[in-house]
Amino acid sequence: MREEKLRFSAVAGQFYPEEKRELERMIDGFLKEVKIPEIEGEVFGLILPHAGYVFSGFVAAHGFKLISEKNFKDVILIGDSHYEYFDGVSIWEKGFWETPLGKIRVNEELAQKILSYSKRFFAKDSAHLFEHSLEVQLPFLQKVLKDFEIVPIIFGSENKDWEDLAKAILNSMDKNTLIIASSDLSHYPPYEVAKKVDSETIEAILKCEPREFSKKMEELKEKFPDVDTFACAQDSIKTILKISKQKKAKAKLLKYQNSGDTVFGDKFQVVGYSAICFYV
């Protein structure tokens, strides 16, 4: 019998509860509180945060409530590495990912199709083993979708690989494919500064123009030199923006808040979170 490749949970008990019933109660609680607007079109993509659930879970729940009970069969998860830096893009190409809610199968055929698009795409398991930005999306997905498979993708460094990845995904996706770009917004400014910075970043994202977004990031560096990061997965954001531009899609902000809006966060140094959907 062939032994299946398995990626174990790395951040259960840290970013979200390790115990199944507690995790389900937390997610159900977030989803129950969420109110989402009507979207006049078919959703195919989301930008969602990846902090600990006590900080960003309520924001993330807005995106997951929107896709609840939808017929997505494949979810392409895109993030930028927080732990291991390398030149290129790593795709987990087969097997399963595990959370306290069970195992999720990787769509091997879809993963191989994307992998084959560029020599700069490869399978590098170590890039995924301790990375939280994709894993934290999975328990929510397990609660809102019935039958789905995943393709986890991680950028190793900032470069132009996002252009080829967008093309590869466009060539591989169908109407039952969901794309999630995992990104938090500003890192560690005071509360009011974060609101100003993040509003400009979100405004740029909603235009669905990747190069305009890049330009805005450079402008913000000059306007707010004391802010550490304006969006921590810019290549992932640019990927979904390029896909959206090619599809002539629209974008809508579902929810914004920062860690200072939670009972667990102070207002001296905060991190910003948004849930944004893309639809045609």
Query: Which pLDDT value is given to residue 90?
Result: 98
> What pLDDT digit, counting tens, does each position of 171-203 carry?
999 999 999 999 999 999 999 999 999 999 999
What's the distance, Cα to Cα, between the start and end of the chain in Å? 44
Of the candidate CATH numbers 3.40.50.1970, 3.40.830.10, 3.40.190.10, 3.40.50.300, the domain formed by 6-279 belongs to 3.40.830.10
Mean pLDDT over 18-41 rounds to 96
Measured at the CA of 103, the angle between CA 173 and CA 165, to 5 degrees, comes to 25
Sheet holding 149-155, edge to edge: 121-122, 89-91, 149-155, 74-80, 177-182, 43-48, 272-279, 250-258
pLDDT of residue 264: 80
Q: Examine the pLDDT at 2 and tell me if it is beyond 80.
A: no
Q: What percentage of residues in the chain have a pLDDT greater than 90?
A: 94
Measured CA distances, 143 to 49, 103, 118, 139, 225 (Å): 17, 13, 34, 6, 40
Is residue 232 pLDDT above 80, yes or no? yes
Checking if the pLDDT of 1 tops 70, the result is no
Neighbours of 238 (CB within 10 A): 27
Determine how many CB atoms are found less than 10 A away from the CB of residue 36.
18
Helix (H, G, I), strand (E, B) or coil at 165: helix
Residues contacting 249, CB < 8 A, separation 6+: 41, 44, 45, 208, 243, 278, 279, 280
pLDDT at 42: 96
Give the SS3 label for residue 82. Answer: coil
Percent of the chain at pLDDT > 70 equals 99
Q: Any idea what the Cα angle at residue 167 is, between residues 165 and 171, rounded to 5°?
A: 115
For residues 217 and 201, what is the distance between their CA atoms, to the nearest angstrom? Answer: 7
